[in-house]
Structure 1
Amino acid sequence: MEWNSILVTVATWIATVSLVVADFQLYAYYDRETLLAGWDLTSSCIDALNSTVTCDESVSTLLGGGVDSNYWYMDNITALCTTTCQDSFKAWGSDVEQACAGEKVVQGGVIVEAKALSLSLTYNAQIACLQDSEFNWCFFDSQSWQGSDYIRYDSLMCADESDMPDICNDEDFDIQSITADMQAMTNLYNSSMFCSECFLELYRLRLLDPWLASTNFTDYLIGQFDSVQQNCSTTLPYTMSSSTLYIGAQTTVTATATTTDAATTINTAASTAVCLGQVVQPIANWLTCDDLSDTYNVSTGDARTATGDYDCFFDTPACLPLPCPIYTVWGSPSCASLAELASNSTNNVSESQFLAWNSNIQGSCGRVANSQRVCMEAPGGTWTTPSVTITAPTGTVLYYTTATPAYPTQSGTTESCGKYYQLQSLNTYLDDNCSNLWLDYDVCVAPVSAPTVSSDGSCGVGVTCAESGFGK
């Protein structure tokens, strides 16, 4: 998925933060050279991203996974929404946008503009600090609002032929269908709710979400906002913030090449992008994040990241990670306690290892958001190193078959890898010369080698009789 140790979609980063009153810095625990090596961004962009924001660090980190991922107490709101903090956030966002213009990073398996790293926090800060004309904290109050599902037909309305509505006799009628009126917000909520200043202002601000892609569901949200305003006799101006943060999905690229000796030129065929996980096609009745996670065995955070939508709506094929055993979070546990829960007698899971599997975890690591799904093992499975080393007769360590990759592995690794090796845990002496390695990722340390051709008809381990004259 990317350079996870530094990416810190900021949910992963939260885990390493010491929750003390201090100014906020996005990459406070990484030196400048490590950031430059890992991000492939200009030094001016790195400096802007990592500049200090004059805001309470412990509260600012709550913004990283999205303002809706945590319950906000009034103390959190008032600590974040000081004039000094808000002015500092705005200045930081402006500096990053200017310094990082045109630069790209990989976040959650998706290529995005570099300014997205700061915009995720500055936009959510606007929502958290929104007030109406009477100085009520709109987002804080919204946490007590009761949501509503679409109006639906009674599943038994056509069960009794002696007492059923005429619509049941229509051969085109589908009891699972939902009409426009059944989806209308003006029919789902009381007007005292949807005509309130806080409801309208929050709705308008969410339409300005920089991550809100141009989709059919977004069109629905815009249409409903116009309908609500018409019912409330209001005309709040807004401009749809069609997302330009997404550049594309991170993929591997395969290509075929032919060489012409006479001209000493190489002709490369068109490259083909390949999803490294599960390709999921959109469906008419789109799945909720929980349904998507349960169906494809991926974490809730990864589902939201892969679809680019908080509600996991998507209308083009989505590339989900490889499946993992999932667990539904309750009781607002810590990342450390979840790592302990994932451990067993043969595998002691560290907190950093758990976060490598759940880099888009929702909430802070001191209080993980409830009801989300998290991976309890590595997506795609964990490869256990064989206890016996396969060697050639000479004693040289060679590998004759492609190893099953551990997960995650750094992009650019050869497909014909004979062994994967976790450098960090076994080579604590590594210095700055290896600062471009990805923390908790596996890299290839031995290529696949051709087996020795037998010269005497013995065809044991590492020796083949094929093409030797002794049989196959």
Structure 2
Amino acid sequence: MVVFWLCTIGTLMFASSISAQSVSTSLYPSVDPDLLAQALNISEDCVEALNASLPCDPTLFQMAGTVDNFYWELDNVTNLCTPGCFQAVDSWTDDVSTRCAFDSIVAYGKIVPAESVAGRYSEGFSLACLTNQNASESADVDMSWCLIESQDWVGSDVIRPDCTTDASDPSCADPTNISADDERLANLYNDDVLCSECFVQMMYQRLNSPYPPDHDYSDYLIQQYQDILDVCNATQNMPELVIRTPPDYATAVPPLLNISGTGDNSCTGQTIVKSTLDPNANCNSIAQAFNVATGDVQAATRSNDCALSTASICLPAPCTLQRISVDATCDSLAASFSTTKLNVTTVSFLSWNPNINGLCDSLPAGDYVCASAPGGSYIPPAPPPGSANANGQQRGGNDGNTAGTPDNTTTPVSTTVTGSSPASAPSPTQTGITSKCTKYVEAQSGDFCVKFAQDNNITPDQLYAWNTVLGAGGSNCDTQFFLGYYYCVATS
């Protein structure tokens, strides 16, 4: 399926206000506007405009900010796209454009026009609320939500030859050798989809965006768009297309710090003296300087912009820092921090980052978090042979081991079995093991999927492919990786 693009510059903190009488949303409902203006280095007038209250569903409007990141249901768009929300978003966007015209913010290391915050929300909202009647005045056409309809479109990125029957095709030897006909959109979708009001309208709206992606394919897409209008005899029905070049945002340079940390008897971490900090230091630059999470700096300073109101602050002990990437979650970060010696759970990750910003499913990209326990982690040694491991939190009724144990099973004595056919498979095993498996290994105490794969000199992806019960990408490891069961670790 052709994917046009996603927004690459994210949005700022988003929150909502809900009462019994109404539902409204605003960007910064609980933040002091004066402090916020200082933190973002924008005018108070711009902050007031950005922070306007909108009569829109808060969760759905937040989703509209990154509209392509979500699967939308019919009730989502009907609840979001109300007349009141439409009118408010239009007025809000115009007001922000006027009052923030000379203001800029720093987002993901770039200096971005402040008005683009509202602009990106407005663009996502318009795409979510696009219907097949937006450009049609015909009452005979049944109304359809284009975003919902688009989720059922089936096409292809390019047309690929069947190289098993025609190996002479040039693209069989070189997959990048693609003819113009094989990447023509008019050949990738049937005419019912291609010439539908929604397909043409959505392509126009994406091409007309004031926020094109970093990796821009405008030349190709404009050519395809004009071709589609010709194929569908729709040339006279569409407005003029205005193409914008990708914005060239300047890189923001963080202020330097005069780094100095001292200790005292009351602070168990790092005591930071205000006079040793650069006056222009921000939350992330302080976090980097002292190896602490961004949220911990905000908590210690009791300030969203990390301005010190006291002579000194107490920060936690240093940790290993990791910058949050776009679309990262608590679960994905915890998994990425796990090693062969330490399984980092989401609970562990949150204990290292008690003041993390945002929600676990939508963390603010650009913030810093701890990838290790502040002050270091204790990794216990392996238990001696023959000893019992009866500690640790139990999961699924097992004895506290990372690999779960199903009921009524007997653990075999042997831990490795090598063979050449499925008949030599040991017991117990689970369904979904590849028929080409030649080596099985038993899951031991303390094993988890990634560790088990590394200990057996295979990649996690190989483990999941050869043991499909573990799910794509290991999605079932928490529920289907059992202590005492055998898993395939080699194939013929």
Give the match for residue 258 of structure 1. none
Give the match for residue 142 of structure 1. 150
Whether the 8 Å CA contact 2:55–2:88 is kept in 1: the answer is yes
Give the match for residue 344 of structure 1. 348
How far the C-alpha of 1:244 sits from its partner, in A, is 6.6
Give the match for residue 264 of structure 2. none
How far the C-alpha of 1:148 sits from its partner, in A, is 2.0
Matches within 5 A, 1:36-435: 36-64=37-65, 66-132=66-132, 133=136, 134=141, 135-154=143-162, 156=164, 164-165=167-168, 174-213=174-213, 217-235=217-235, 236-242=238-244, 246-251=248-253, 299-301=325-327, 341-344=345-348, 347-350=351-354, 352=356, 359-360=363-364, 384-385=374-375
How far the C-alpha of 1:18 sits from its partner, in A, is 7.1
How far the C-alpha of 1:109 sits from its partner, in A, is 2.3
Whether the 8 Å CA contact 2:34–2:44 is kept in 1: the answer is no
Give the match for residue 487 of structure 2. none
Q: Residues 156, 106 of structure 1: CA spacing in aligned structure 2 closer, same or farther, 3 A cutoff?
A: farther
How far the C-alpha of 1:80 sits from its partner, in A, is 1.7
TM-score by length of 2: 0.50
Whether the 8 Å CA contact 2:112–2:249 is kept in 1: the answer is yes
Distance in 2 between the 1:57 and 1:325 partners? 28
How far the C-alpha of 1:359 sits from its partner, in A, is 3.9
Whether the 8 Å CA contact 2:17–2:24 is kept in 1: the answer is no
Distance in 2 between the 1:98 and 1:209 partners? 19
Whether the 8 Å CA contact 1:210–1:242 is kept in 2: the answer is yes
Q: Residues 113, 246 of structure 1: CA spacing in aligned structure 2 closer, same or farther, 3 A cutoff?
A: farther
How far the C-alpha of 1:347 sits from its partner, in A, is 4.5
Whether the 8 Å CA contact 1:19–1:57 is kept in 2: the answer is no
Cα distance per residue 1:310-340 (max 9 Å; x no partner): xxxxxxxxxxxxx977669xxxxxxxxxxx9
Cα distance per residue 1:121-166 (max 9 Å; x no partner): 11111111111233221112212222422123445567xxxxx437
Give the aligned residue type for 1:385.
Answer: G
Percent identity for Structure 1 against Structure 2: 26
Distance in 2 between the 1:89 and 1:26 partners? 13
How far the C-alpha of 1:35 sits from its partner, in A, is 1.0
Give the aligned residue type for 1:75.
Answer: D
Q: Residues 382, 117 of structure 1: CA spacing in aligned structure 2 closer, same or farther, 3 A cutoff?
A: farther
SS at match of 2:225: helix
How far the C-alpha of 1:10 sits from its partner, in A, is 3.5
Q: Residues 17, 47 of structure 1: CA spacing in aligned structure 2 closer, same or farther, 3 A cutoff?
A: closer
Q: Bigger CA drift: 38-47 or 90-99?
A: 38-47
Q: Residues 250, 17 of structure 1: CA spacing in aligned structure 2 closer, same or farther, 3 A cutoff?
A: farther
Q: Residues 105, 326 of structure 1: CA spacing in aligned structure 2 closer, same or farther, 3 A cutoff?
A: farther
Q: Residues 360, 226 of structure 1: CA spacing in aligned structure 2 closer, same or farther, 3 A cutoff?
A: farther
Q: Residues 351, 231 of structure 1: CA spacing in aligned structure 2 closer, same or farther, 3 A cutoff?
A: farther
Distance in 1 between the 2:19 and 2:68 partners? 20
1:31 aligns to 2:32 (yes or no): yes
Give the match for residue 427 of structure 1. none
Whether the 8 Å CA contact 1:111–1:250 is kept in 2: the answer is yes
Unaligned runs of 5+ in 2: 1-8, 257-287, 289-322, 338-343, 378-492
Distance in 2 between the 1:45 and 1:10 partners? 16
How far the C-alpha of 1:167 sits from its partner, in A, is 5.2
Distance in 1 between the 2:196 and 2:205 partners? 14
Give the aligned residue type for 1:239.
Answer: L
Give the match for residue 368 of structure 1. none
How far the C-alpha of 1:253 sits from its partner, in A, is 8.4
Whether the 8 Å CA contact 2:324–2:363 is kept in 1: the answer is no
How far the C-alpha of 1:168 sits from its partner, in A, is 8.7
How far the C-alpha of 1:180 sits from its partner, in A, is 1.8
Give the match for residue 266 of structure 1. none
TM-score by length of 1: 0.52
Distance in 2 between the 1:345 and 1:35 partners? 28
Whether the 8 Å CA contact 1:112–1:245 is kept in 2: the answer is no
Whether the 8 Å CA contact 2:170–2:177 is kept in 1: the answer is no
Give the aligned residue type for 1:126.
Answer: S
RMSD value over aligned CA atoms? 4.1
How far the C-alpha of 1:13 sits from its partner, in A, is 3.1
Distance in 2 between the 1:140 and 1:244 partners? 28
